[in-house]
Structure 1
Amino acid sequence: AGALRPTSALVKLALDSKMALAHQSYEPKPAALLQIADALGREAGLRLSRDLCRALPAACSNDRAVMAQEIGKLALFLDAAPDRPAEAGVEDYAAISAENIEGELSRVVDGVMSGHPDRAASELAKLAQSGLSGIPVLRALFKRTVLLAALRKDVDAGRTPADVVEARGKAIFWKEKPAITDQTGRWTSDRLAILADRILKTERALKSSGSAGELLADAELITIARAATRRR
């Protein structure tokens, strides 16, 4: 209802009714937000630096629930708990933020390269809400295309997709290995070469004046995902 005066008709109605509850709520001031961040951190086993206590509320739109979620992720990242506290600074929070972005981009790339247009569209919509779209997504897709092209060389020499992916060891994150194995078998070297050129052309189009920007990138990604439904 916004800021209401004590003389407001709505306030009087709520106070006089047994079916309503009137409650005063104020947006915390910066000093209070700093204390909230510090307290949430200590509950999770983290000693937040003063800079992080200042930065966290702003990053979470002053939402206490979101702050608690982010601190929970940070505690997990640092393997902290009330019985084994850890120091946490802005650089640690930046690290998990970058990790989250990488994960979001990876889900889009997997949707596209594994031939799941609906999943790709859903992940693109989520990315847009995070402010990520267009060129960062295309570059993540290009990076995956280059990786698959390198793997395909070994497949073309007679090895199986599973063998060449496993041979990369820790260079390929274990959670991504099943999807990358599927994509290595799904895309031929010739198709990957065409795709790489197509991605670069789309990025150039995005940078040129008068282009449709993010809509152009999203449409191109969905088109590629549809093409990926056809193996070989």
Structure 2
Amino acid sequence: MKATANQLRQALDSANPAIRFYLLHGPDESGARDLALRLARAMGTDAERVDLDGASLKADPGRLAAEAASLSLFGGARHIRVTALGEESLDAVAMLLSAARAGNPVVAIAPTLKTAGKVVKLALAADNALSFACYPPEAADADRLAAAIASEHGLRTTGGTASRLFAASGGDRAVLTREIEKLALYLDAAPERPATLDDAAIDAVGADLGEAEMALAIEAAIGGDAARLGSELARLNEAGVSMVPLVRGLVRRLMTLSELQAEVAAGASIASVIEGPRVFFKEKAATGRALRHWTPQRLSGAIDHLRQAERGMMGAATAGSIIAEAACLAVARAGRSAR
């Protein structure tokens, strides 16, 4: 069945026993992963999670249905998460949906599946499945999305706080949710005890400190100067600066480059696009050089790599600063290769 956003959230949050398969397809992989976490929370902290991927299901199509019907090792709740599911998993999904029983729900993250694909059509036609297309939120939906997630955590946005949260997350739904969770904890907010989220709270605990302090490191990364970037990272580390705003600032600069690159590809000159309001006057020369060397493919790959790094930093017991530094250095190497 095709699900609306509200229907999907309600089903995931209740672990609806009538639904054995949740298909989250489309290009917003971050949003899909964040939705999948809702099922994990609904199953409980002690629930067993089985992780599979599309490649393993292609080799053994019957495994998905078998895992869905199996009892937990300790007799508790159990659910299955499938990542990178593609058309090669059609047989596995068909066997799951037609199985005599499947007590453990399955959530599948499928960023490459198309709406007209066979797996999506199979899920749409099944009464025991929900299919939802995940797309990156448009700018017009940004405030509404941030406000809705904040409301789920007991926070009422005010003024421009919703826009600020969305901008700070770089449009990444998973990062946005983690930031809101942190703010709710800071304000001791919950659905049963709502609190007002204002700029003061974001200033106090928000990770977005702005790009000013990070400008030299960002310029070195985009310019492909790994040695200078290493020095700047050491300086920031000594000053105790969080690596989260650096990663976010670098993503924003790369996204701006990507937008400018599209204008150049459409026929505009580099000289004309860097004169616009999106380029700070001190960064015009560096931006012009970057536009000559970075390709759209490299920009897209660098942005994806940084966003994955930030999501990795948000987890518990991770080597946060090391993950961020490695990701920034990878961008610098890509920038050097682009020259």
2:317 is aligned with 1:210: yes
Q: Deviations over 1:23-58 (max 9, x none)?
A: xxxxxxxxxxxxxxxxxxxxxxxxxxxxxxxxxxxx
The aligned residue for residue 42 of structure 1 is none
Give matches, 1:1-150, under 5 Å.
Answer: 102-150=211-259
Unpaired segments ≥5 residues, structure 1:
1-93, 95-99
The 5 A counterparts of 1:129-208 are: 129-166=238-275, 168=276, 170-208=277-315
| 2-structure distance, mates of 1:139, 1:219 | 14
Counterpart CA distance in 1 for 2:302 and 2:278 is 23
**Alpha-carbon separation, structure 1, partners of 2:325 and 2:210:** 17
* Residues 104-154 of structure 1: CA deviation (Å, up to 9, x unaligned): 311111000010001111111111222213211100001101100110001
**1:231 equivalent in alignment to 2:338:** yes
Where do 4+ consecutive residues of structure 1 move more than 2 Å? 100-104, 158-163
- 8 A contact 2:210–2:245 mirrored in 1: no
In structure 2, give the amino acid aligned to 1:174.
F
Whole-Å separation in 2 of the counterparts to 1:124 and 1:145:
18
Q: Aligned letter for 1:124?
A: L
Q: 1:101 & 1:196 partners in 2: Cα distance?
A: 18
Q: Structure 2 unaligned segments of length 5 or more: list them.
A: 1-202, 204-208
TM-score (norm 2): 0.37
Q: Please give the secondary structure, in 2, of the residue aligned with 1:153.
A: helix
Map of 2:165 onto structure 1: none
Normalising by structure 1, report the TM-score: 0.53
Cα contact 2:211–2:246 (8 A) shared by 1: no
One-letter code aligned to 2:247 = L
Q: Which has the higher contact order (CA 8 A, sep 6+)?
A: 1
- Alignment RMSD: 2.0
How far 1:190 sits from its partner (Å)? Answer: 1.7
Shift of residue 164, structure 1, vs aligned partner: 1.2
CA distance in 2, matches of 1:200, 1:206: 10
Q: Which amino acid aligns with 2:289?
A: D
Three-state SS of the structure 2 residue aligned to 1:211 is coil
Residue 212 of structure 1 deviates from its aligned partner by 1.4
Paired amino acid for 1:220: A
2:256 is paired with a residue of what secondary structure? Answer: helix
Q: What is the alpha-carbon distance in structure 2 between the residues aligned to residue 124 and residue 162 of structure 1?
A: 31
